A and B are shown apart, each in its own frame.
Chain A
């Protein structure tokens, strides 16, 4: 794999008084990316990490953003360049977000870090410190650290995000929804289940406000809550929540299947959250199969969901596997 080209920084080459810092750790830089020549690193290790994480995607995009400081002052319409820069930064933020998300769904949290960091820095440059627009970046960073198990750092990041949200009452439901989800996950990881429940409840509330109570987004909140109730041993509540989730997804997948047969090979909205959904369905199936009092209708429903999901992906081997699985066949025939 090519991990970008490196060349060492020649301090004399840069204008007087400009210090260069590592893109990842903010220490004094010793190497730089030879492609864009505007990104610096303390060592080749960080350069490689950044390359894999985000720099490969945005390397050339950074050139116009970072280099033309010399020309901009001579340029007659300086404001216009500024606006252009802001617009480019916004674009970069979006790219970082999507890159980080896709890394998360692949489970590569370490690799998602540079993207999340860059996203935060870029957001700060554009929107200023402690503005509501920083929250998604904080949340990305928190999610990456959560995956890596740096809970202290996550706590710090999230309290920062929370503080920003507190100070900006104009924050939309989406931001609240995401923040509460992250906070809930954090409390769940630290074992504070009651606090986690509180945040997941808020998460569901805001998701319902934004997307409606039956949307798959809200459903994700229900699933998280159900996990907590299952951990607390409140099985009847967990079961009730799981069945709600299963029903919502069943509805969604059935609809999806109908439209799928009409127009094949459409880009699938499920694809982005596919791994998450599959994980969710598997957990529910396992929960139901391990339960002392088996609800075969629920098992069938979840199995059907899984089968539909795999079918939509064109993975017929898995579909035939699940339909032939003895325990599921047994419950289906019942």
Chain B
């Protein structure tokens, strides 16, 4: 028979030809896979499996091993993911970041991890232990934390959170919390809110901890506060204060019970701001002062600065200028003593602005100058230039005021002063030191 005739010369060639060519690759593979268990004797003749490991792609080896162990669902999931990775990359623009990434099927660590946890999940699925299934999937979701693997993270969290069986076990609830965080990061606030609220309802009556040992309840409150606060941005910008306030109050109640003082202070501040925007300064002041208190006890100078400024603004809009000035001076002191340069500049400029609007140009220019000096010290050019312009404008206003008063008065003393100024102005261009003296001559 035709087939038989050739057997004699086909078979020996397999061995002869293969050995020399494959050996070096096998040694490399041996090192990488650390298959130290192979005894030296069998290094001469490789088993079918070892040859397959050498010849075939990483993807094929992993898939085949999974199938051999009977994990067919894990196989089809992994297969699906690898193909979606290919599709994603094929759909990407040539030369884009996605194209330049290493394909998933070439990253051994990731493939091995997926194989391990998917197999364990499938094993647990067969015996109906759903919480283990969810836990394994949660681990995978957390494993893919790199930005380029975000889609995998989403996939595994969803596969954990959206399953019918075991949807209320701790890992599934934690997966929802993680999803809420991810969606929040991505800016998909509605999805984030939905996941977080679901998670919040389920976590409410349990003392569960997440994988890092945090209380899940605190964590989800934290997330919810951030979601509500971000959600309120849009209605606030559109002037729909009722809705914004409703959202912020929800967030506030989350923050208040989260045992985290920082976000509680922040929540108070945000609510205050919303009230301030809506024109309800009393309520705003109440929240600002709570925020100031919390920040004071927490030694959070940054938060304190923000709260002070907001409070001062509220007082100013109410017409309580003295209060505003007092508050801002207090803020300047606090900032100076804490060494918070930016806050100090801010406070000084605010104070200057208030004096400026009141027409007290000299005091305004003093405040601005103070701010300017601190800004010089900080070395922030943009801030420095802003302060510079403000100083100049305040001084100019001061100068014009005196000058026009003298011109209008037309008394001998006034004329004298004008003449003296006129005389000194020439040298003023040459000698900048004289500027201050001339200006002070008016007051």
Q: Does residue B169 face the partner (Cβ distance < 8 Å to A)?
A: no
> Are B126 and A240 in contact, CB atoms less than 8 angstroms apart?
yes
Q: Does residue B225 face the partner (Cβ distance < 8 Å to A)?
A: no
How many positions in chain A have a CB within 8 Å of any CB in the partner chain?
37
Docked pose: A26 CA to B127 CA in angstroms: 59
Partner of B126, one of A141, A195, A237: A237
> Are B73 and A240 in contact, CB atoms less than 8 angstroms apart?
yes
Give every chain A residue within 8 A of B70 (Cβ-Cβ).
225, 229, 234, 237, 240-241
Chain B minimum-CB-distance residue to A245: B72
Q: Interface with A: B8-16, B154-162, B171-179, which one?
A: B8-16
Q: Interface with B: A93-101, A202-210, A262-270, A282-290, which one?
A: A202-210
> Are B80 and A205 in contact, CB atoms less than 8 angstroms apart?
no
Chain A minimum-CB-distance residue to B7: A156
> Are B72 and A26 in contact, CB atoms less than 8 angstroms apart?
no
> Are B2 and A160 in contact, CB atoms less than 8 angstroms apart?
no
User: With A163-B10, A205-B60, A240-B72 given, is the CB distance from A198 to B49 under 8 Å?
Assistant: yes
> Are B73 and A26 in contact, CB atoms less than 8 angstroms apart?
no
Give B103-139 as 1s and 0s: 1 = Cβ < 8 Å from A's Cβ atoms: 0000000000000000000000011000000000000
Give A223-251 as 1s and 0s: 1 = Cβ < 8 Å from B's Cβ atoms: 00100010000101100110010000000
Chain B minimum-CB-distance residue to A163: B10
Q: Does residue B3 face the partner (Cβ distance < 8 Å to A)?
A: yes
Q: Does residue B41 face the partner (Cβ distance < 8 Å to A)?
A: no
Give every chain A residue within 8 A of B64 (Cβ-Cβ).
198, 201-202, 205
User: With A160-B10, A244-B73 given, is the CB distance from A201 to B67 under 8 Å?
Assistant: yes
Q: Does residue A25 face the partner (Cβ distance < 8 Å to B)?
A: yes
Chain B minimum-CB-distance residue to A218: B76
Docked pose: A229 CA to B126 CA in angstroms: 14
Give B8-30 as 1s and 0s: 1 = Cβ < 8 Å from A's Cβ atoms: 00110110000000000000000
Q: Does residue A172 face the partner (Cβ distance < 8 Å to B)?
A: no
Partner of A120, one of B3, B63, B72, B79: B3
Chain A nearest CB from B61 CB (Å) reads 10
Docked pose: A330 CA to B105 CA in angstroms: 48
Chain A minimum-CB-distance residue to B125: A240
Give every chain A residue within 8 A of B63 (Cβ-Cβ).
201, 205, 208
> Are A117 and B2 in contact, CB atoms less than 8 angstroms apart?
yes
Docked pose: A124 CA to B13 CA in angstroms: 20
Q: Does residue A129 face the partner (Cβ distance < 8 Å to B)?
A: yes
Give B70-105 as 1s and 0s: 1 = Cβ < 8 Å from A's Cβ atoms: 101101100110000000000000000000000000
> Are B3 and A205 in contact, CB atoms less than 8 angstroms apart?
no
Give every chain B residue within 8 A of A138 (Cβ-Cβ).
3
Tell me what chain B mostly uses at the interface: helix, strand, loop, or mixed. helix
> Are B76 and A160 in contact, CB atoms less than 8 angstroms apart?
no
Partner of B80, one of A117, A121, A163, A213: A213
> Are A159 and B11 in contact, CB atoms less than 8 angstroms apart?
yes
Chain B minimum-CB-distance residue to A222: B72
> Are B48 and A198 in contact, CB atoms less than 8 angstroms apart?
yes
Partner of A163, one of B2, B4, B13: B13
Q: Does residue A115 face the partner (Cβ distance < 8 Å to B)?
A: no
Q: Does residue A157 face the partner (Cβ distance < 8 Å to B)?
A: yes
Chain B minimum-CB-distance residue to A164: B10
Give every chain A residue within 8 A of B14 (Cβ-Cβ).
159, 163, 166
Chain A nearest CB from B87 CB (Å) reads 13
> Are B67 and A129 in contact, CB atoms less than 8 angstroms apart?
no
Chain B nearest CB from A270 CB (Å) reads 23
Docked pose: A31 CA to B339 CA in angstroms: 113
Chain B nearest CB from A181 CB (Å) reads 13
Chain A nearest CB from B164 CB (Å) reads 15
Q: List 27 A-B contacts (CB under 8 A).
A: A117-B2, A120-B3, A124-B2, A156-B3, A156-B4, A159-B7, A159-B10, A159-B14, A160-B6, A163-B13, A163-B14, A166-B14, A198-B64, A198-B68, A202-B64, A204-B75, A205-B64, A205-B67, A208-B63, A208-B79, A213-B79, A225-B70, A225-B72, A229-B70, A241-B70, A244-B72, A244-B73
Residue ranges of B at the interface with A (Cβ–Cβ < 8 Å): 1-4, 6-7, 10-11, 13-14, 48-49, 52, 60, 63-68, 70, 72-73, 75-76, 79-80, 126-127
Known: A195-B48, A202-B60, A234-B70. 16 other contacts (CB 8 A): A117-B1, A156-B4, A157-B3, A160-B6, A160-B7, A160-B10, A163-B10, A198-B52, A201-B66, A205-B60, A213-B76, A222-B72, A236-B127, A240-B70, A241-B70, A244-B72
Residue ranges of A at the interface with B (Cβ–Cβ < 8 Å): 25-26, 117, 120-121, 124, 129-130, 138, 141, 153, 156-157, 159-160, 163, 166, 195, 197-198, 200-202, 204-205, 208, 213-214, 222, 225, 229, 234, 236-237, 240-241, 244
Of all A-B residue pairs in the complex, the 9 with the closest CB atoms, nearest first, are A201-B67, A237-B70, A201-B64, A213-B76, A201-B68, A236-B126, A205-B63, A197-B68, A156-B7
